[in-house]
Amino acid sequence: MHDDILVTSGLSRHFGGVRAVNEVTFSVPKGQLRAIIGPNGAGKTTLFNLLSGQLHSHSGHIYFKGKEITGRSPSYLCRHGLGRTFQVNSVFLNFTVLENVQLANMAHQGKTWNFWSPARKVLVEESKAILEMVGLADQADKLGSALSHGDRRRLEIALTLACKPELLLLDEPTCGMSLSEKPHLVKLIQNIVREKGITAVLIEHDMDVVFSVADRITVMHRGAILAEGSLREIQANPKVQEVYLGEDYRAPV
Amino acid sequence: MSQAGASRSAIIGTIVGLIVLILILVALPVIAPHIVLIDATDTLIFVLLALSLNLLVGYAGMLSLGHAAFFATGGYCAGILVKHLGVAMPLAFVASPLLAALASLIIGFFSVRLSHSYFLMLSLAFGQLLFTVVWKWRDLTGGDDGLTGIMPAPALVAPWAYYYFTLGVVLVCAIILYRIGQSPFGRALKAIKDNPRRSDFVGINVRHYQLAAFVLAGAFAGVAGALQVFFHRGIFPGSAHWITSADTFVAVVLGGAGYFTGPIIGTVVFKTLGFVIPRITEYWLFFLGVAIMIVALVRPKGLMSLWRTGRTKNA
């Protein structure tokens, strides 16, 4: 319990009569790369919205680093080490790539309350280092709106990294990426998580991605947790096969 | 490489242009007739008002139609202190932006929010509320007779002296506003305009920053109000009316809200048209309207985009 960076208990959220997230109790140990899978409408993104403070829960509790964070605002959580990326790209389109990361860096370090020094000179090296890490260093001067879809996904991750997260919520990071781009991004995520000792929770539809990066898998179905376990356990679980995986992913021999 | 060269020559061009402009402004009392000096002082005051509004419109993307409230708060604050309490001009002048900031903190607390249309309506409503108070509270404000006989300090009574005083104050305020725009705080405002949800998720508490911008803009509008009351030796409820807010808004958009210099150009053009056309025809508002429509149709990003287009496209 002490090693769990994220814990929820009885977390629920409904929209009208639909129980989007229903009594979800789960925990993620520090340093793990957890994947959350489940069919469309299973409540994965709603769960993320609750965890990251974008939505208020109707009941239940969320604990982060041992402290209750239920009902905290996104900006508070971000400043305290909980970062997230979005399923649909959400970067600053009228900022250059460097300015995007600079802003996130400044905000995280509380420097956005500086009214006087020129912003273009603030935290340039730190921001360039992050661009280097995600492979966008050569595009630092491009506007966010001029980036390809795949590069925006990278920038999305860079923005989150600038907030020095201890827990990273990645909402379908490879969504909409071409088949050739996907493996690079997956490797990037893996490297970052391992090198920096970040805990990551990943929503993903691409099973190849899930099976290649995740330490452990949680399966959601109709707002609730259906199963949780190692890759093998999930592959072998008949309930999971029934709702989700289909014939293709039966455990190999 | 050539792009860096181009931007360097652009910077040199801007600096040379600024020096020439400042020289002309400094020489104006010598080279221009009295009436032009009066118009110039008036224009400078509205340049400051437009620049302060642009912190909201251009940087933070907050469309306020109640900015005149803080202009009037500053003006009435100085006027009432001088007239009713016999306070000396310098002290009254300093009190104006402080009271305007307090007013914008209170009004901002209730009206600053994410939705553009609600903020617009609330700023308009609070502005009109203040206008009504000014209109009705005769004992304090003089009602529709206004507050008159507000004299500046003896050294500033001559039109040329007051012109230099205004020029100095507006220049200092413009430099401060420019620095704020370029600062990390200014970046945060631009980020909120660009993508409020993402701003939240990089750790920016959007509402706090919007409120801070609102208070800052209100304080500078208060300075403009104080300049105005000693310039006209009085103040009238019209300064608090939403038409004043709308005029300022038009000047900002006319020049180009996306540029720091946009509100300056916009105000100069707006005021010049306002000075020149009425001397030719009594239907000057019609021609002003036509001019604004042409700009809106041909140059939706404002007059400033005329010579900045090339550069923004390169960026």
For chain A, which domains are there? 4-249 (3.40.50.300)
Give the count of alpha carbons within 13 A of B308, CB side only.
18
**pLDDT for A205:** 84
Residue B199 has pLDDT above 90, yes or no: yes
Q: Does B182 reach chain A within 8 Å, measured CB to CB?
A: yes
Q: Which of A16-25, A204-213, B172-181, B248-257 has the highest mean pLDDT?
A: B172-181
Q: Which of A230-244, B37-51, B250-264 has the highest mean pLDDT?
A: B37-51
CA distance A87 to chain B (A): 12
Q: Determine which of B187, B197, B199, B313 to mutate to test the interface with A (most A C-beta atoms within 10 Å).
A: B187
Please give the mean pLDDT across all residues of chain A.
89
The separation between CA B307 and the C-alpha centre of its own chain, rounded to angstroms, equals 23
Q: With pLDDT > 70 as the criterion, what percentage of chain A qualifies?
A: 95
- Contact, A135 vs A154, CB < 8 A? yes
Residue B118 has pLDDT above 50, yes or no: yes
Give Cα separations from A170 to A167, A187, B61, B161 (angstroms). Answer: 10, 14, 29, 63
Residue B283 has pLDDT above 90, yes or no: no
CA distance A214 to chain B (A): 24
Q: Least CB-CB distance to B195: which of A90, A96, A108? A: A90
Q: Does A102 reach chain B within 8 Å, measured CB to CB?
A: yes
CA distance B211 to chain A (A): 13
Residue A198 has pLDDT above 70, yes or no: yes
CA distance A155 to chain B (A): 12
Per-residue pLDDT of B34-53, as tens digits, reads 889 999 999 999 999 999 99
Q: Least CB-CB distance to A73: which of B180, B194, B205? A: B205
- The ipTM (two decimal places) reads 0.84
Per-residue pLDDT of B200-248, as tens digits, reads 989 899 999 999 999 999 999 999 999 999 999 999 999 999 999 999 9
Q: Does A52 reach chain B within 8 Å, measured CB to CB?
A: yes
Residue A75 has pLDDT above 50, yes or no: yes
Residue A238 has pLDDT above 90, yes or no: no
Asked if A73 lies within 8 A of B200 by C-beta distance, the reply is: yes
Rounded mean pLDDT, A232-248: 77
- Contact, B256 vs B304, CB < 8 A? yes
CA distance B194 to chain A (A): 6
Asked if B201 lies within 8 A of A113 by C-beta distance, the reply is: no
Q: Does A111 reach chain B within 8 Å, measured CB to CB?
A: yes
**pLDDT for A201:** 94
Please give the mean pLDDT across all residues of chain B.
90
Per-residue pLDDT of A143-190, as tens digits, reads 999 999 889 989 999 999 988 899 999 998 888 888 888 888 888 888
Residue B284 has pLDDT above 80, yes or no: no
**pLDDT for B6:** 62
Q: Determine which of A48, A75, A156 to mutate to test the interface with B (most B C-beta atoms within 10 Å).
A: A75
**pLDDT for A248:** 53
- Report which of residues A207 and A59 the model is more confident about: A59
**pLDDT for A188:** 86
Rounded mean pLDDT, B104-116: 90
